[in-house]
Homo-oligomer: A and B are copies of this chain.
Amino acid sequence: MNDEQPVVKGHMVVTNDVITYIGEAEPPQHLLEQNVEHINGAKQAFMPGLVNTHGHTPMTLLRGFSDDQNLQVWLSEKMWPMEAKYTAEDTKNGAALAQVEMLLSGTTTFVDMYDRMELVAEITEYSGMRGMLTRGVIGLCSEEEQKQKLQNAISFARDWNGKADGRISTMLAPHAPYTCPPAYIEQFVQAARDYNLPLHTHMSESIAEVEQNVKDYGARPVEHLDRLGFFSCPTLLAHAVHLTDEEIALLAARDVAISHNPISNLKLASGVARLPQLLKAGMRVSLGTDGPASNNNLDLFEEIRFAALLHKGVSYDPTVIPASEALKLGTIYGARSLWKDEQIGSLEAGKKADFIALNIDQAHFYPMTDIVSHLVYSASGKDVLHVWIDGKQLVRNRECLLLDEEKIKFEAEASFKRMISQ
């Protein structure tokens, strides 16, 4: 992710959970102590693990259950009735399936927003993944229930922040301005300040949502949230498809992070976010898959490719989002959107050893003209051979070493069967 030298043909040393050397020259001898495991990386490309900055992992169970529908039909007639049937077991099964899929496609860090987040956290603790987790809260309910949900969200965030050797961190997440009344959002802002937690929410995903916000609150979502003090806390916004120049300027001034979800935005016909403008404004911008019911997979290499291709076509400018920028969106910019770029997102001495190895000895990587181009325009998650997080190998030759893939697939299938038979 270093512009001067994007590709190094050489050596990398990992000591415990940290990269201690990377370079063309032989590594210093003192780093190579007894019991060193040597990995031959010939015909493989090593790169930072991908960072997926928005998703709802338990929704893997609804992958392919309803496609090609209008958003309101999809949500109210398909997603919500099914989600109401989720037991704790189903939530766990969906989340575990998602983690298998993410690991096998090279994602090492993910953001997750859903209810019963402690179940996702338990799987994350076990799976070895790095997760920024948050209980998503819909506030269209009684004040009593609101209060209980907020308490639950705060408890989760405080209990799990920094757990699993620091692999798990947490946020607070009112679901969206259109599903949480203003007074309730203010309570989240207060809690975020009190407990020093970032905020995460969906915003300006569709035109209808923006128009409804103006009707309900006399302001578009950006101004509305800004008035509620939202952006005074570190904030990660999902989608932000429909933004004016002024809104981009305001969000940039507030140093707000945005998770761009190109595939989900296309599939739900929400539109095309103004990614080139967001980057030009110097914002923290990154990529998310969104839930697997609106994508329908969790391969972040696809988001990288869509980001590189889509914005060229719709802007009629083939120079926007060049390959190097697209690759950064899925790695170091992802880390930056989660305020973790000191820790992860690139292969540098001192950073956490979160990295993946791709098999580049395949026809679609030949000739070896430009590895960055190939990773963006030709690679997919299925080229990932190995995955390490915190220096620990979690995938070897496309086999999950900790998660039991066979059992997880079986149980996910059983969960779905049970839900549709009800």
A residues contacting B by CB (< 8 A) are 60-65, 67-71, 74, 97, 100-101, 104-105, 207, 263, 265-272, 295-299, 302, 305-306, 308-310, 312-319, 321-323, 361-364, 366-370, 373-374, 377-378, 380, 382-383, 405, 408-409, 412-413, 415-417
Contacts and interface: CB of A to CB of B under 8 A. Distances in A.
A116 to B, nearest CB: 19
A312 B269 contact: yes
Given A269-B318, A316-B271, A97 B363 contact: yes
B299 A265 contact: no
A385 to B, nearest CB: 12
A308 B266 CA distance: 9
10 contacts: A63-B364, A64-B373, A67-B373, A68-B321, A104-B363, A295-B377, A306-B309, A310-B310, A363-B405, A367-B413
A104 B378 CA distance: 14
A369 B416 contact: yes
Contacts of A364: 63, 101, 105, 297-299
A317 B267 CA distance: 9
B319 A68 contact: yes
Contacts of A368: 413, 416
B101 A363 contact: yes
A364 B405 CA distance: 11
A316 B306 CA distance: 17
A52 to B, nearest CB: 14
A127 to B, nearest CB: 13
Contacts of A104: 362-363
A318 B63 contact: no
Nearest to A313: B266
A378 B292 CA distance: 9
A306 B313 CA distance: 12
Contacts of A295: 377
A314 B369 contact: no
A271 B367 contact: no
A313 B269 contact: yes
A98 to B, nearest CB: 8
Given A364-B297, A380-B382, A265 B313 contact: yes
Given A309-B263, A409-B361, A269 B382 contact: no
Given A364-B297, A374-B296, A405-B363, A369 B316 contact: no
B322 A67 contact: yes
A382 B365 CA distance: 13
Contact of A100 (B207, B270, B309, B363): B363
Given A63-B378, A104-B362, A266-B310, 12 more contacts: A60-B367, A63-B366, A68-B323, A69-B319, A97-B363, A267-B377, A269-B315, A270-B313, A271-B313, A271-B316, A363-B408, A367-B415
Nearest to A71: B318
B63 A269 contact: no
A41 to B, nearest CB: 18
A373 B297 CA distance: 11
A224 to B, nearest CB: 23
A372 to B, nearest CB: 8
Contact of A267 (B101, B318, B382): B318
Nearest to A62: B369
Contacts of A373: 63-64, 67, 296
Contacts of A71: 318
Contacts of A322: 67-68
Contacts of A314: 266, 272, 314
A222 B305 CA distance: 32
Nearest to A207: B316
A138 B312 CA distance: 27
